Amino acid sequence: MKLAFNIVDWQANAPGLSETEDWLAWGKTAAAIDVSAPPGKSRHLPMMTARRLASGSRLAVDCALAILSRQSVDALVFASRHGELERNFRILTALAEQESLSPTDFAMSVHNSAVGNATIAAKQALVSSSVSAGYDSFAQALIEVTSLHHAGYQRVLLVDFDGLIPEFYHPHLAVKTLNMPFAVALLLESGQQMQCETKPCEVTEDRGLPQGLAFLHGWLSDNPTFTLAGERLQWCWSRH
């Protein structure tokens, strides 16, 4: 499989990393993130909307709005491995304890609630898609972006994100899993700036950084090539 894109613009937020200069410095060093540090505050979300969103969705929508405020965008693709897991866990807990469900939790529990809230907050009726594909959610979202490019949507905004994983699930996480809210937004056009070829690999456990953050680190590092680990494929990137 071969993929190719031009990166028009980007925005990201994670614990201890929200300003552009912080991210640029991070890209030139080891890909370490202090999960105990607070993420950057929302700058583009209305306060009431921010309060309703879960930790990862809040960062995702805020990053999307930042790019939508300064760029023209034709379509949106949001990718999240766990989606609204925080909210769904609260719903399951309430059901198990025979308590009333929160109407907000119920309404916002679907996987595409983040991308839906982005279009509502931006007041733009954009074509949108929401992708979940395990550890490869970011990589599979790139395939979705390619499909939209082929369909005629020139500028597609990809937002890869996740929120905090409830403590109940921690015993089932891989050892290197980083439990933190984050969001990486990339505005992508068809082009040859960044090219990717896949190679088969053995099934592996999580490699620490989510794929979206691993890609951002590779791109900001200015290295001519870098590789993202996947569940069954290696995603080998080169810049031109």
Distance separating alpha carbons of residues 60 and 202, to the nearest angstrom = 31
pLDDT at residue 40, as a whole number: 84
**Which residue in 151, 217, 160, 214 sits closest to 186, CA to CA?**
160
Residue with tokens 């395939």: 143
- Using DSSP's 3-state secondary structure scheme, residue 128 falls into strand
231 vs 216, which has greater pLDDT?
216
pLDDT digits (tens, 9 = 90+) for 49-96: 888 888 899 999 999 999 999 999 999 999 999 888 888 888 888 889
Task: Give the pLDDT of residue 207.
Answer: 64
pLDDT band at residue 107 under the 50/70/90 scheme: confident
**Mean pLDDT value across residues 133-146:** 95
d(CA 44, CA 102): 26
Distance CA 207, CA 41 (A): 27
Span 140-166, average pLDDT: 96
Size of the chain in residues = 240
Which DSSP category does 100 fall into? P
pLDDT at 76: 98
* Rounded-to-integer distance, Cα 139 and Cα 81, Å: 11
Burial class of residue 231, CB neighbours in 10 A (0-12, 13-18, 19+) = middle
CA quadruple 70, 76, 82, 88: dihedral, nearest 10: 90
pLDDT at 192 over 90: yes
Calpha distance 216→154 (Å, rounded):
21
Name the strand (E) or helix (H) holding 194. Answer: strand 182-200
Q: Between these two residues, 23 and 51, which has the higher pLDDT value?
A: 23
Q: What is the pTM of this model?
A: 0.92
The vertex-12 CA angle with 173 and 177, nearest 5°, equals: 10
**Contact between 196 and 237 (Cβ < 8 Å):** yes
The answer to whether 219 and 27 are in contact (CB under 8 A) is yes
pLDDT class of 235 with cuts at 50, 70, 90: very high
Answer yes or no: is pLDDT of 181 > 80: yes
195-229: pLDDT as tens digits: 999 998 866 555 678 999 999 999 999 899 999 98
